[in-house]
């Protein structure tokens, strides 16, 4: 996985979630000699179907763990010789952070601090642990229509309680690198889409509501712009960084390079659902609602650092990936219908 690193046991936090489970499903298959320990507290967004899929892999074990509970984390490190952490676990939905920010402070900041505390303890015992922190482009705040895309050097300017807690956790990781010699990698990705994403997020929500004939709420005028990244491309980008051994205490942005307004993407999805799956007339379901508080206007990612370092690029076109995604939700209603 990482050349010359002798990594054989990886702790993956939040591995039952959307991106963490995609990472595990790919890595368990690709790296049969590595043991993956999945620590997740099975929060509201989890589907038992994901757990069933992961359990098919012999090199995957699941430990129900809350990263806010440092004793539980210490137990894991007592029982397993971990040599790398991939940290996906987070409260991840901006709307929830506006309603109830404390959970975000606890998981995203204190939970990350707990992991870093344990890594430092392990380091003091002579066990060096690589730390990959999964973060978001939202730490950089918002762009207008003509501003240049975010680079790794863009200033942090988070707008929501979610992005503020992610920015805080990024800064903690960097501080552990400078102060305690932590070997880390931070990746800041744009909006992911693909199979196994909980229906609170835009793309699965539109698909679900269209199939269920429910209103499709759109914030404000729908003109906010997002960069979309297919989850499989995201995992490939991460693996391409590992392959280059790029744990050099650096940050890499990962974006799909496809920018589109929210209303455009909703109309594209409804078009595919009509043409390929027979759900017609769904544009009637679109309902414009009061804008989200502190709503960022545009996210846009400059990928050049990642591309130059690894040669990575998205595998297929955004439209093909969206079709594959929609197909998955239509075929896997038992995954998301509780
Ligand atoms: P998700 O909500 O689907 O998954 C998060 C997982 O973390 C869940 O399985 C949940 O049970 C677990 N979790 C939450 N609190 C926990 C706690 N206290 N202890 C242990 N486990 C806990 O989110 P996701 O979309 O898979 O996001 C994964 C990571 O990627 C997050 O760090 C998020 O900030 C980041 N990210 C996501 C996106 C995106 O578009 N989804 C974009 C940029 C960055």
The range of the structural domain enclosing residue 181 comes to 9-193+228-256+300-314
Answer whether residue 337 shows pLDDT above 80. Answer: no
* Pocket of ligand 1 from Cβ distances under 6 Å: 13-14, 16-20, 40-43, 45-46, 65-68, 88-92, 107, 111, 134, 136, 166, 189, 191-192, 198
Decide if 110 is inside a domain: yes
CATH number at 179 reads 3.40.50.720
Decide if 320 is inside a domain: no
The pLDDT value given to residue 212: 94
Average pLDDT, integer, range 214-239: 98
Average pLDDT, integer, range 225-238: 98
- Number of folded domains that form the chain: 1
Q: State the distance from the centre of ligand 1 to the C-alpha of 68, rounded, in angstroms.
A: 14
Answer whether residue 12 shows pLDDT above 80. Answer: yes
CA 318 centroid distance within chain:
18
Decide if 4 is inside a domain: no
The pLDDT value given to residue 114: 98
Decide if 60 is inside a domain: yes
- Quick: pLDDT tens for 97-128: 999 999 999 999 999 999 999 999 999 999 99
Instruction: Supply the pTM of this predicted model.
Output: 0.98
What percent of the chain is predicted at pLDDT more than 70? 99
pLDDT category of residue 57 using cuts at 50, 70 and 90: very high
Decide if 87 is inside a domain: yes
Own/partner pairs for 314-317, CB < 8 Å, 24+ apart?
314/229, 314/230, 314/233, 314/256, 314/257, 315/230, 315/232, 315/233, 315/236, 316/230
Residue nearest to atom 33 of ligand 1 (CA): 92
pLDDT category of residue 4 using cuts at 50, 70 and 90: confident
Q: Which of 18, 25, 50, 90 to mutate to test the pocket of ligand 1 (most atoms within 8 A of CB)?
A: 90
C-alpha dihedral, 60 to 66 to 72 to 78, nearest 10°: 30
- Quick: pLDDT tens for 244-287: 987 789 999 999 999 999 999 999 999 999 999 999 989 999 99
The pLDDT value given to residue 196: 97
Answer whether residue 228 shows pLDDT above 90. Answer: yes
The pLDDT value given to residue 334: 87
The pLDDT value given to residue 91: 98
> Residue 120: which of 166, 70, 72 has the closest Cα?
70
Q: Which of 66, 87, 88, 204 to mutate to test the pocket of ligand 1 (most atoms within 8 A of CB)?
A: 88
Q: State the distance from the centre of ligand 1 to the C-alpha of 36, rounded, in angstroms.
A: 17
The pLDDT value given to residue 262: 98
List C-alpha distances in Å: 264 to 123, 267, 283, 329: 49, 5, 12, 20
Q: State the distance from the centre of ligand 1 to the C-alpha of 281, rounded, in angstroms.
A: 34
Average pLDDT, integer, range 46-68: 96
The pLDDT value given to residue 104: 98
Q: Say if residues 63 and 10 touch (Cβ distance below 8 Å).
A: no
- Quick: pLDDT tens for 77-94: 999 999 999 999 999 999
Decide if 198 is inside a domain: no
Q: Which of 19, 24, 165, 296 to mutate to test the pocket of ligand 1 (most atoms within 8 A of CB)?
A: 19
Decide if 26 is inside a domain: yes
The pLDDT value given to residue 338: 58
The pLDDT value given to residue 16: 97
Decide if 331 is inside a domain: no
> What residues are labeled active site?
137-138, 162
């Amino acid at each position: 996985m990482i050349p010359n690193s002798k990594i054989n046991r990886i702790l993956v936090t939040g591995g039952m979630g959307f991106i963490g489970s995609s990472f595990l499903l790919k890595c368990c298959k690709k790296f049969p000699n590595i043991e993956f320990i999945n620590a997740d507290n099975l929060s509201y967004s989890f589907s038992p179907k994901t757990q069933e899929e992961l359990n098919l892999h012999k090199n995957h074990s699941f430990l129900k763990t809350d990263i806010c509970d440092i004793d539980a984390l210490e137990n894991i490190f007592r029982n397993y010789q971990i040599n790398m952490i991939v940290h996906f676990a987070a409260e991840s939905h901006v709307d929830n952070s506006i309603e109830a920010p404390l959970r975000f402070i606890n998981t995203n900041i204190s939970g990350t601090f707990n992991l870093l505390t344990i890594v430092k303890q392990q380091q003091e015992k002579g066990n060096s642990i690589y730390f990959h922190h999964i973060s978001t482009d939202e730490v950089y705040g918002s762009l207008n229509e003509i501003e240049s895309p975010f680079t790794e050097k863009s200033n942090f300017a988070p707008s929501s309680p979610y992005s503020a807690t992610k920015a805080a956790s990024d800064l903690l990781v960097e501080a552990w690198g400078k102060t305690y010699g932590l070997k880390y990698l931070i990746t800041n990705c744009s909006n992911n889409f693909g199979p196994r994403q909980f229906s609170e997020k835009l793309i699965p929500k539109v698909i679900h509501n269209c199939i269920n004939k429910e209103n499709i709420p759109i914030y404000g005028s729908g003109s906010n712009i997002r960069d979309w990244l297919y989850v499989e491309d995201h995992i490939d980008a991460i693996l391409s960084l590992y392959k280059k051994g790029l744990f050099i205490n650096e940050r890499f942005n990962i974006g799909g390079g496809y920018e589109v307004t929210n209303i455009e993407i909703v109309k594209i999805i409804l078009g595919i659902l009509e043409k390929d799956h027979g759900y017609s007339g769904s544009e009637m379901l679109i309902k414009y609602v009061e804008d989200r508080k502190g709503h960022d206007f545009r996210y846009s990612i400059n990928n050049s650092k990642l591309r130059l370092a690894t040669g990575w690029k998205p595998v297929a076109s955004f439209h093909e990936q969206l079709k594959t995604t929609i197909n998955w939700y239509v075929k896997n209603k038992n995954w998301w219908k509780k």
